[in-house]
Structure 1
Amino acid sequence: MSAIRPLGRPSATDAAEPGAGRISTPAPKSQVLYADEDVAHAVADEDPVADADAMVGVKHAEVRPTPDAEITPTPEVPAADTHGHTQTDTRTDTPGAAYAVPAEAIPAEAVPAEVALVEAAPADAAPAVTAPAVTAPTPSQSTASPDAVLVQRTMAEIAPVSDKVTSYFYALLFTRHPELRDLFPAAMDTQRDRLLKALLTAAENIDHTDVLVTYLRGLGRGHRKYGTRPEHYPAVGECLIGALSRYASASWDEETEVAWVRAYTTISQVMIDAAAEDELRAPAWWYAEVVSHDLRTPDIAVVTVRPDQPYPFLAGQYTSLETPWWPRIWRHYSFASAPRSDGLLSFHVKAVPAGWVSNALVHRARPGDVVRLGPPGGSMTVDHSTDSGLLCLGGGTGIAPIKALVEDVAEHGRRRPVEVFYGARTDHDLYDIDTMLRLQQTHPWLAVRPVVDNRAQLPDAVREYGPWNEYDAYLSGPPGMIRSGVDALRDVGIPVGRIRHDSVEELVAAGD
């Protein structure tokens, strides 16, 4: 780089260790800048292989901030207040170090084996994710800022060699900063693309300040659970610039470098500040003891936990969860009920082939085991300031947050129509239908419609009813279902602004 540039400000305070006084259990090593907040929650365990392609292009219809999650513009960027979604968050009182990229490049053959060649990724939560998605389209060349134009030019050049850029980025990071290798999972397969793609997506959408800031703030808060500190950001920025300059050589010049440095400095500072603010009001993670484990089917369990301290969240949100058997591996799961007076939290988990976290929760977890929870996230919450009806589509374990929304409406005591379409491939997969039918018997404003089809054509069933022009729509389930569901709902006249769901690529589409 042509100059050394300072990056980042430290946390405003030295908060007490978030883990102090909690359930005694070994804390896994931390992680750095893990972009796992872009993984779909409730649906995560729903047939990730079959739905992987369908996930591409899924958009978040409405961004709504919630108390502690993905940023008001969240690439969930949904506006969740999550997303929070663990290790003591120690910080320094000195400004973030400046970084510079040495002129000499690490040869491609120097890429560590664990980066260049990774095992097949086990998917517990959702198909391997790329980057969060913003809800505004990438600015056109005519309206984009000069920096955005240069960033987009770089992105276009590296697109055909993105795998090489990713491998080289991690090679730089682990070679120049070997102390950071232990902050990542032992197997890099599920993590490999997330960090870099999240950074690239954020930089490419640098002009969409409202959406981007929300996403980045949520990401910064969520990264506290990995033990990410301000001084880690310069190392990542250094290696980002190094990888881009090597593979975008045709378009790379001093002006482009300056644009990327400005973009990354902005991105990292938003995350650093959000983490510092969050430190003042919430722990980096919560320990939670399993109090019940209800195996509903051979591969679906309802797991109920008791947090070690109050856990604030809203119905429809989700959290990230780590088990003691797979340290540093986090997956997202939706809360299966509205906040309860006893403080207990329930999750519906489906074990998927080779799924580390899902299989551990379904087949191994028992009462007395202790897991860790990140902060809440997601913006699929009910707007109680209106009387609009709720049209809810829940597929598979995606029924969990839908059930929570129904309970939330009931607790607020306002009679507003709620129509729930509960989809599954077989009768056997309608594992929570009895609970939903009991809620229907209790609340006359609730209608539950099971939809069983081995092709899971839930959106088609919705078209047969209606009209839905006075309803707010909520979708939760496999990525393919969400994508087709959004299309179906728009076809029947529901405005995009009244369609809510949380899924994986909310920042990229800007317009998961």
Structure 2
Amino acid sequence: MGNLSRLLKESWTLVEEQQDKVAGYFYARIFLSNPHLRNLFPVTMDVQRARLLGAIVTAVQSLDDPDRFEEYLRQLGKDHRKFHVEPEHYDVVGGALLEALRTFAGEAWSIEYDQAWGDAYNVIAKKMIAGAEADTNPAYWHAEVLTHERRAKDIAVITCRPLQYPLEFRAGQYVSVEAPRYQPRLWRTYSMANAPNKEGTIEFHVRALGAGWVSSALVRRVQVGDLLRVAAPMGTMSLDRKSTRDIVCVAGGTGLAPIKALIEELTRYNRTRWVHVFFGAKDRDDLYDLPELNKLAARYPWLSVVPACSDDKNFVGEQGNVGDVVARYGPWGDHDFFVSGSSSMVKNTLRTLAELKVPAVRIKYDTFGDI
């Protein structure tokens, strides 16, 4: 894997600054040779292009970690069932990908690079196909919206229940969600904000982003009674019940969702581990779930909550980025960490934890962007 990984990363630098053009050419090749596949994709392709490249880069970078590589691709294969992807589609995609890379790398592209990408893609395709074929669940669940509550100007808390089959997941995982009534064939990932329960309900915390078509629909248009589509659970930011270490959870904005799910799971069995939650936002209005967190802290002596605002000088609590706030407490050398939020927030927090000498093996994180 060492030489293959080197060739892949080395060749990727030839096209990295032209990612948008590579993705555009890639899709053009697919749709020109197989026009019927266009119906599998959303009308607007801007975000889809970015996500494609993100998935490719993640897969390539994971080659240094075979275990993560295997699990990531199997989950990706399961997740892609929602697009009605069939095994024969992988050959089409692989050919278009190689053609796009050759085109934009130009004369610097070599036979060795071509072979490396061909070999890597074959491994990727086989593992994704295996993951999809091993999944006995439906490609996606139809889930009825039971409650829709606006907690802030741009934030909604949505509860839904899958209709046909129970959706089995672990606290800390995430799923892809589609609002077919408003934005068909557009999927975005959201973490479950609750642990699995007997009622089979799922809670999402959603912030409407500027150009976020799905997030805006979920916050401003979705109503009680609407049906969402929810794809297979993914992610590994789950609790290790064998660990006896105390826990630190760092959440930024709606990144609180998976942290809330982890806390809920802990309330069912934890008696010995102290849990410290740092909840950061720009201003007090974005601390949308703080009252609920405080109720939990009052009920469970092992739980403490520290809110922080980065852009609200009148906020009575901690000031600054939540990652920097964590550094004011501690020591944290012997704790398990869970970090969730925007890519910038997660980057800042991971950098802080590295400076505090927290071992990377004890940190699990979830982000709404690329790290």
Matches within 5 A, 1:168-317: 168-199=25-56, 202-203=59-60, 206=63, 208-278=65-135, 281-308=136-163, 309-317=165-173
Output the amino acid matched with 2:125: S
Partner of 2:332: 468
Runs ≥4 residues deviating over 6 A: none
Pair 1:446-2:303 in alignment: yes
Does the aligned pair in 1 maintain the 2:193–2:261 contact within 8 Å?
A: yes
Q: Deviations 1:388-434 (Å, cap 9, x if unpaired)?
A: 11111112112222121111111014331011111122222211111
Instruction: Provide the identity percentage.
Output: 43
How far apart, in 1, do the equivalents of 2:259 and 2:367 lie? 14
Q: Residues 495 and 305 from structure 1, CA distance in 2 versus in 1: closer, same or farther, beyond 3 angstroms?
A: same
- Alpha-carbon separation, structure 2, partners of 1:300 and 1:467: 33
Return 491-500 or 253-262, whichever deviates more: 253-262
Q: Distance in 2 between matches of 1:204 and 1:490?
A: 21
**Partner in structure 2 of residue 361 of structure 1:** 218
- Separation in structure 1 between the aligned mates of residue 291 and residue 322 of structure 2, nearest angstrom: 19
CA contact (8 A) 2:246 2:336 kept: yes
1:246 positional shift: 2.6
Separation in 2, partners of 1:501, 1:204: 17
CA RMSD of aligned residues (A): 2.1
**CA contact 2:341–2:368 (8 Å) conserved in 1:** no
Change (3 A) 1:432 1:249: closer
Go from structure 1 to structure 2 and tell me whether the alpha carbon gap of 1:414 and 1:328 turns closer, same or farther (over 3 Å shift). Answer: same
Deviations along 1:110-160, one digit per CA (max 9) or x if unpaired, are: xxxxxxxxxxxxxxxxxxxxxxxxxxxxx8xxxx32x44543443233334
Q: Which moved more, 1:269-278 or 1:160-169?
A: 160-169
Q: Is the 8 A contact 1:203 1:260 kept in 2?
A: no
Q: Which runs of 5+ in 1 are unaligned?
A: 1-138, 507-511
Distance of 1:458 and 1:402 partners within structure 2: 14
In the alignment, the residues of structure 2 paired with residue 475 and residue 498 of structure 1 have an alpha-carbon distance, to the nearest angstrom, of: 11
* Distance 1:366-1:472 versus aligned 2 partners, 3 A rule: same
1:484 is aligned to 2:348? yes
Contact kept? 1:380, 1:500, Cα under 8 Å: yes
Structure 2 unaligned runs (5+)?
A: 313-319
More helix by share: 2
In the superposition, relative to structure 1, how do residues 204 and 250 fare at CA in structure 2: closer, same or farther (>3 Å)?
farther
TM-score, scaled to structure 1: 0.67
Work out the CA distance in 2 between the residues paired with 1:197 and 1:450. 32
Partners of 1:208 and 1:449 lie apart in 2 by 35
Q: TM-score under structure 2 normalisation?
A: 0.91
Of residues 12, 21, 27, the one that matches 1:164 is 21
CA distance in 2 between counterparts of 1:472 and 1:205 reads 23
Structure 2 residue matching 1:190: 3-state secondary structure:
helix
**Contact kept in structure 2, 1:399 and 1:476, CA below 8 Å:** yes
User: 2:251, 2:339 within 8 Å by CA — same for their partners in 1?
Assistant: yes
Q: Which residue of 421, 428, 444 corresponds with 2:285?
A: 428
Within the candidate set 158, 163, 176, 1:320 is matched to 176
Alpha-carbon distance between aligned partners in 1 of 2:353 and 2:44, rounded to the nearest angstrom:
40
User: For residues 128-167 of structure 1, what are the structure 2 equivalents within 5 Å?
Assistant: 144-145=2-3, 147-167=4-24
Letter aligned with residue 267 of structure 2 = A
> For the residues of structure 2 that align with 1:289 and 1:405, how far apart are their CA atoms?
24
Question: Residues 401 and 164 from structure 1, CA distance in 2 versus in 1: closer, same or farther, beyond 3 angstroms?
Answer: closer
Change (3 A) 1:160 1:286: closer
* Paired letter, 2:170: L
2:263 paired residue number: 406
